[in-house]
Structures are given as structure tokens and as C-alpha cells.
Amino acid sequence: MAESNQQNTQGLNAKLKDYMQLTKFTLTFTVVFTCVICYLLAPKIVTYDFKMILLLLVAGLLVTGAANAINQAYEKNSDAVMKRTANRPVASGRMSQQEAYTFAFIAGTIGVLMMWYFFNLSSALVSAFSLFVYSFIYTPLKTKNSIAVLVGAFPGAFPCLIGWVAGQDDFSIIGWVLFAIQFIWQFPHFWAIAWVAHNDYTKAGFKLLPSDKGPTKYTAMQTIMYSVLMIPIGVLPYYFGLTGIISLWILLVSNIALVIQSIRLYKEMDAKAARRVMFSSYIYLPIVYLALLADKIPATTH
């Protein structure tokens, strides 16, 4: 009896681990983190209601997790040939495509309905649109053309807009500024990842770098250009009166640091330099969004 219970517990733990892999939980949590921060940045949110924050977190995890589940189910064969993804539950055969799609449908539906019921229709519609673009346009486009990175940047940045709309209930300019910060950030971030994983991506037939020839000077120059573009965009939250001078300086320093790493990539042209860009971009978002939140100007001054 004890042995049977132990086996059941191990089986349940293994299944839970598979679902965490299916939803890319760590990445999903990072995405939803920016959604919650942008919600709290909305001027209408003057006090922190932890119940609403938790509901937004859960809804965001469900919608984003559903998108990742569809992505893995669709890319079963591609994931199986790449070392970094071969052990994913669908690619490895531990989970069927049907199970992944069923989970995605249920999770996505519940997440969108939660956004509608607890927040507003606008945030629910953007959530549903983001899920659709990521799952049914970006995912199949990855093997067709490198424009997939541009397409994928939209659902990648929509969580910022979703959070803003959930809190402010409008599509005002600052919501789009927050969207723009994360939209542009994705290009140096994702190209650095694609540079490091170029051999794996090539095996799977993914075309994700701006140059057809792979990691080239052109790719590195594009990374610099988008990193530089982040500097003026980073000034906009201060310009529109959302935050103060402290966050302005933190954003400027963070953006300049990313530019420097992108320039080093252009000079050194190797995976080590690409990893520096990648890790710099990873720490960029929490630093920037927490700085914006900490320096938020009270709604009474708007």
C-alpha cells in the first residue's frame, strides 16, 4: 500500500513537472511579471489590492501558458531534433499532442474569461488576440521567414498593454509606451538567443536571425540599432509624467549598458559576446519595470 502511494506521488510529481515544462513556467512568470507591474503603474491603481494582483497573475499564467503549450504541441518534431528542447514533454513523447492542445484550450479560455470578468472586456480581447498571434501566426512562421521575430514581438509585448488596460481601462499613450519598451527590447534579446542557439535552430529549420547567412556583422549591427532605439523610448515614461527622474536615469543607464554589450558583440562576433547580450537583456526587464514602479508619480499629480 505504501509502495503504491509512493508510486502515485512520483507519478503526480512527474506530471506536474511536465506541465511546468509545457507552459515554460519560468519564462511565463517573467512575462506575467511585466503585466502585473504595468497594471500597478496605471494611475487608477492607487492602492495595492492583493486579491486583484493574484487574479491577474493567475489569468496571465493561464493565457501565456496556453500559448506555450500550443507552441510545443505544434513544434513537436522540431523540438525533438534540438538538444535544448528534445526533453520537452510533447517532443519526448511523455505527453500527447492532443493532451497539450486540450490543456491549452481549457487554460486559455479560463484565462481570457478571468480577464473579462475580474477586469474588463478590453484586456480580455487583447489577451485573446495575443494568444492567437503567438500560437497561430508566429509559431508556424518561424520556419518560413525571419519576419517571425517581428510578428512574435507583438504578443511578447502585449502583456504590458494588457496590464495597463486591466488597471486603467483605456488604451492611453502611456500604455503604448510600456508596450514599446518591451517590444523593442525583444529584438536584441531574441537575436542574442538565436545567435547562441543557431546550430540547433538550423537543424529545426527555424529562420530567426535577420541575415540568411546566420550570425553575421549585419545581425550584430541590427542588435546595436535596436538597442540604441531603446534609449529615447526609455525617456518617454518620464516625458509623459508617469514616473520621476530616478527611474529616468536607471532606464538610461540600463539602455546604455545593453548598447555597450551589443557593440561588443559586433566587435567580437562570438557566442560568448552573444551570451553577454542575452544575460544583460534578461536582467534589464526586472530592473527597468521595478524602477518605474518605485518611481511612479501619485495619481493625484496627473
Extents of the domains making up the chain: 1-169, 172-302
Mind listing the pLDDT tens digit for each residue in 178-217? Answer: 999 999 999 999 999 889 888 888 887 887 787 777 788 9
What's the CA gap between 294 and 302, in Å, rounded?
Answer: 17
What's the CA gap between 283 and 299, in Å, rounded?
Answer: 28
Q: At what angle do helices 25-41 and 50-74 cross, to 10 degrees?
A: 140
CATH class of the domain defined by 1-169 = mainly alpha
Contact 166, 119 (CB under 8 A): yes
DSSP designation for 145: -
Q: At what angle do helices 245-268 and 271-294 cross, to 10 degrees?
A: 170
Mind listing the pLDDT tens digit for each residue in 65-76? Answer: 999 999 999 999
Query: What is the CATH architecture of 172-302?
Result: Up-down Bundle (1.20)
What's the CA gap between 208 and 194, in Å, rounded?
Answer: 6
Q: What is the pTM of this model?
A: 0.90
Cell output for 184: 523593442
Q: Which residues of 2-29 are buried (b: 16+ CB within 10 A; e: fewer)?
A: eeeeeeeeeeeeeeeebbebbbbbeebe
Residue with cell 498571434: 133
Contact 295, 43 (CB under 8 A): no
Q: Where are the alpha helices (DSSP H) in 119-243?
A: 121-133, 139-141, 148-168, 173-196, 198-204, 217-239
Closest CA to 164 of 97, 203, 119: 119
Task: Provide the 3-class DSSP secondary structure of residue 296.
Answer: strand
Mind listing the pLDDT tens digit for each residue in 129-155? Answer: 999 999 999 999 988 888 888 999 999
| Confidence category of residue 12, pLDDT binned at 50, 70, 90 | confident
Q: At what angle do helices 173-196 and 271-294 cross, to 10 degrees?
A: 160
CA dist 180 → 126, 183, 229, 235 (Å): 15, 5, 10, 12
| Residue 302 confidence (pLDDT) above 80 | no
Look over the chain and give the mean of its residue pLDDT values, rounded to a whole number. Answer: 91
What is the per-residue pLDDT for 300?
45
Mind listing the pLDDT tens digit for each residue in 153-180? Answer: 999 999 999 999 999 999 999 999 999 9
